Amino acid sequence: MKPHAFVVMGVSGSGKSTVGRNLAKRLGSQYFDADDYHSSGNVQKMRSGVPLDDADRAPWLETLNQLLADHIKAGRMPVLACSALKNSYRQKLISGGLHVAWIYLRGNYEELLDRMEFRENHFMPASLLRSQLEALEEPADAWAFEISRPVEEIVEAVVSRLNFNSREDS
């Protein structure tokens, strides 16, 4: 079944935003970054080096679910970059029967830390990387890609898989 939306997921520093923007451009879709939908309290908490808990994330996930649902209902195929670390978070994102393709960007601690240390203008400090990796429940139903692969290669692999799946649905 062809997905109605894409969620590019992984821990901070995995390249979600870069892959998501490039995928949306390639598909002619609209791109959204889940970080833009955090409350100011959540952003301040992360800036201070304090990991978010499930209660902090609940309203954020509801907002993102509604964002996806609204765009899908309007006939658009949105691309969302979102950490979606736990299965329960992913289930909240797709509540209401949304059909999404999960694109999981996977990397080891050293690769991720290296990327995070060279980022500018991001509220997530590298000190929270370990807590994200500890919280991460790797998805069983995702299209997984190592972050060491070039962005263009990941995007083309997703598009090729989407085209292959579309032919199967015909």
**Chain segment 70-120, per-residue pLDDT in tens:** 999 999 999 999 999 999 999 999 999 999 999 999 998 888 877 666 655
Residues of the chain with confidence (pLDDT) below 50:
166-170
Angstrom distance (rounded) from CA 167 to CA 127: 44
Strand partners, 105: 145
Per-residue confidence (pLDDT) for residue 168, from 0 to 100: 47
pLDDT score, position 110? 83
What's the number of domains the chain is made of? 1
CB atoms within 10 A of CB 44: 12
pLDDT at 111: 83
Are residues 14 and 106 in contact, defined by beta-carbon separation less than 8 angstroms? yes
The type of residue at 87 is N
State whether residue 45 is helix, strand or coil.
helix
What is the pLDDT, as a whole number, of residue 165? 55
Place of tokens 């692999």: 157
pLDDT of residue 124: 54
CA atoms within 13 A on the CB side of 61: 21
CA-atom Rg of the chain in angstroms: 15
CATH of the domain at 57: 3.40.50.300
* Residue 98 · residue 4 · CB < 8 Å: yes
SS3 label, residue 107: coil
Question: Rounded to 5 degrees, what angle do the CA atoms 49, 43, 32 make?
Answer: 125
- Position 1 scores a pLDDT of 66
Q: At what angle do helices 54-73 and 40-47 cross, to 10 degrees?
A: 130
Domain range for 98: 5-169
Are 9 and 16 in contact by the 8 Å Cβ rule? The answer is yes
pLDDT for residue 167: 46
pTM of the model: 0.88
Spell out the alpha helix ranges (H) of 48-150. Answer: 54-73, 87-93, 109-117, 129-135
pLDDT for residue 51: 80
